[in-house]
Amino acid sequence: MKQTYTQAQIVKNISGRYVVVTQSGQQLSCIARKKIAYQGQKLMVGDYVQIDQQNQSIENVLPRQNALTRPPVANIAQVLIFIAPQPEPDYFLIDKILFIASLQNITPILVVNKTDLSTQTLQHIQQQYSAVVRHIFAISATNNQIPQALLSCLKGKLTALAGQSGVGKSTFLNALFGKQVAKTQAISQKIERGVNTTRHAEIYPTPYGQIVDTAGFSLLELKHLAPNIFIQKAYPEFAPYAQQCKFAGCNHVTTSVQQCGVQQALQQGLISKERYARYAQTLETITKEWKNRYGT
């Protein structure tokens, strides 16, 4: 008789034990069959799997929509990128997460938290990203001021939380539940940085949708990325103007303004000066690393 398996989703992984939830809502703690490792597969939180309920074992991994390596999370529909006045925003990190999301077909949403402290950060984010990201929300998670439109975006989806430590990701998660389910950490007054309190990826079934709180959000080191891929995909708002460049291989930095549609758009105020400056700086770093690695 052919073995019948039950479909489930991995919601937590701690020391090789996988907590899964079946379609009927039953929660089990399972181990992975060795054949999964032999097949070169690595189980991730968010994976849909087939389990043997009697033996509490994971037998097969179902195809993924996407997969991140750091943190190891699969099948993410969207990512909330948190920014706050404190700690000071890391715009290079925001740009990198947006790039990662685009490569993995993950919808990005910018969430500016702690707006009770300052509205300047929200204004800066809107100025730089309104042409790049469809949704930018202002919230105050500590005061439970979360727009209904943001909550509506979460329904029926697996959403990852990303951003610097101390920007309020855990506070936001606690606000969704109306109680503390994730540890929070105050900003260090000495260095004005947050301390990362999340130690593992875990999916929380909130009243509004599934949330995965993670210990970091980095798919790849950009220094190992081919420069042409970065040029073509990292800053999508450049694309319409890149079509006006005189040369197909234009990098929008070393080419003259007369020959570069992107630089012309920059001069006309059609592209964020801050975003362009980070593009040029990152491209220089990537190009040097690529040449050191491959000699071309």
Tell me how far apart the alpha carbons of residues 67 and 73 are, in angstroms, rounded to a whole number.
6
Backbone phi and psi for residue 19, each to the nearest 5 degrees, phi listed first: -85, 120
Tell me how far apart the alpha carbons of residues 153 and 129 are, in angstroms, rounded to a whole number.
19
As assigned by CATH, the class of the 68-213 domain is alpha beta
Tell me how far apart the alpha carbons of residues 115 and 143 are, in angstroms, rounded to a whole number.
10
Q: What percent of the chain has pLDDT over 70?
A: 89
Could you give the count of Cα atoms lying within 13 Å of 295 in the half-sphere of its Cβ? 0
Q: Rounded mean pLDDT of 171-193?
A: 64
Confidence (pLDDT) at 184: 56
pLDDT-based confidence at 293, cuts 50/70/90? confident
- For 268, the token pair is 């006309």
Residue pair 163/119 in contact by the 8 Å Cβ criterion: no
Could you give the count of Cα atoms lying within 13 Å of 78 in the half-sphere of its Cβ? 21
Identity of residue 257: V
Confidence (pLDDT) at 68: 85
Q: Regarding beta strands 202-206 and 209-213, do their DSSP bridges make them parallel or antiparallel, or are they unpaired?
A: antiparallel
Identity of residue 247: F
Backbone phi and psi for residue 123, each to the nearest 5 degrees, phi listed first: -65, -40
Per-state percent for the chain, helix, strand, coil, to nearest 5: 30, 25, 45
pLDDT digits (tens, 9 = 90+) for 9-49: 999 998 889 999 999 999 999 999 999 988 888 999 999 99
Tell me how far apart the alpha carbons of residues 267 and 262 are, in angstroms, rounded to a whole number.
9
pLDDT-based confidence at 232, cuts 50/70/90? very high
Q: Rounded mean pLDDT of 170-193?
A: 65
Tell me how far apart the alpha carbons of residues 108 and 105 are, in angstroms, rounded to a whole number.
9
CA 124 and chain centroid, separation? 20
Confidence (pLDDT) at 182: 60
What is the fold of 223-294?
A: Ribonucleotide Reductase Protein R1; domain 1 (1.10.40)
Confidence (pLDDT) at 218: 53
Domain boundaries, the chain: 6-63, 68-213, 223-294
* 194 closest CA partner among 217, 164, 163: 164
Identity of residue 135: H
74 contacts: CB under 8 Å, gap ≥ 6: 44, 45, 46, 47, 64, 65, 66, 67, 68
Q: Rounded mean pLDDT of 78-96?
A: 94
Tell me how far apart the alpha carbons of residues 139 and 143 are, in angstroms, rounded to a whole number.
9
| Inter-axis angle of helices 91-103 and 273-294, nearest 10 | 70
Whether pLDDT at 160 is above 90:
yes
What is the fold of 6-63?
A: OB fold (Dihydrolipoamide Acetyltransferase, E2P) (2.40.50)
For residue 261, what is the DSSP state? H
* pTM of the predicted model over 0.85: yes
pLDDT digits (tens, 9 = 90+) for 265-288: 999 999 999 999 999 999 999 999
* 257 closest CA partner among 268, 136, 35, 18: 268
